[in-house]
Amino acid sequence: MDLDPQLTGLNQLGGFFVLRTVVDAARNPARPLPTLAQTYDGTASGVQPDPLASRVRTVATALRAPEARVAASVAHLGLAARLWSPALGCAALYGRIPDLDPRLLRWDADAGAPDDLWLTEVRPLPGDAATLVDVVLHGHLQPLAATLRARHRLARGLLWGNAASALAGAVRELDRRARADGRTDIAARARALTAELFAHPLLRDTGTRTGTAFRRRSCCLYYRVPGAGVCGDCCFTRTPTARPRTPRTPMA
């Protein structure tokens, strides 16, 4: 099936799957939205200054996060979910995906959740796992992880655990909605593609999968948010508690 130029099939899958295909210049003419390419390489000045830093601040404020790195991890998880979801959704629905080149995707880093993405041109690509790896994993998640590691000293395992959690969440929601609509063919394609994606070296050691359930081997740090518990796929089964500090012996 050919891609719908407006990708309207994604609308039935929920907010994380929706991908706008026209940039509404009248929406904020004084501040054009940056592309994700500009976000990753730090050339967004004059458009939306430092959108990644702005997103981390937005998340930190919304969650009352105690550390910038906690907000950075949660922001990363949210954007990863917004990238995997429409790509996997299109692959399962259409058998093809739009080219999500970072130069074609615009991002409003100050918007609420889920992240607001705009695709400026729909260029059809094959909907196989190898293309999904090239488009999402290599095209977005590697440069995004490199930038966040440099700024916030986030562990590599945490970031790839986030990428895996985002993918697992996307297939779980897609499988649930497809089955509810009687589209077992779509659910089966989504699960098969996800199994291939999790075989990739960057994802295969991030956790264990049982059907669409996923238990990661790392933690996204969300439990450090005031009043938060652990996520459903966290490596912890209950919220960790701080270890009591051992008093120092006064020096003579």
196 φ/ψ angles, rounded to the nearest 5 degrees:
-65, -40
Burial (Cβ within 10 Å: 0-12, 13-18, ≥19) of residue 128 = middle
**Residue entry with tokens 């090239």:** 134
pLDDT above 90: residue 42? no
| 236 domain residue, yes or no | no
Give me 17's structure tokens.
């799957």
Phi, psi of 99 (to 5 degrees): -65, 120
Q: With respect to residue 107, please indicate whether it lies within any of the assigned structural domains.
A: yes
Average pLDDT of the chain, as a whole number: 89
Range 207-221 average pLDDT: 94
Q: What percent of the chain has pLDDT over 90?
A: 73
Q: How many domains does the chain have?
A: 1
Measured between alpha carbons, how far is residue 31 from residues 25, 106, 119 in Å?
A: 9, 12, 17
Flag whether 237 is in a domain: no
pLDDT tens per residue across span 67-94: 999 999 999 999 999 999 999 999 999 9
Per-residue pLDDT of 2-20, as tens digits, reads: 788 889 999 999 999 999 8
pTM of the model: 0.90
Q: Identify the domain containing residue 205 by its residue range.
A: 8-224
Are the beta carbons of 175 and 184 closer than 8 angstroms?
no
**240 assigned to some structural domain:** no
CA dihedral 63, 67, 73, 77 (to 10 degrees): 0
The radius of gyration computed from the CA coordinates of the chain, to the nearest angstrom, equals 19
Would 120 be classed as within a structural domain?
Answer: yes
Residue 243 covered by a domain: no
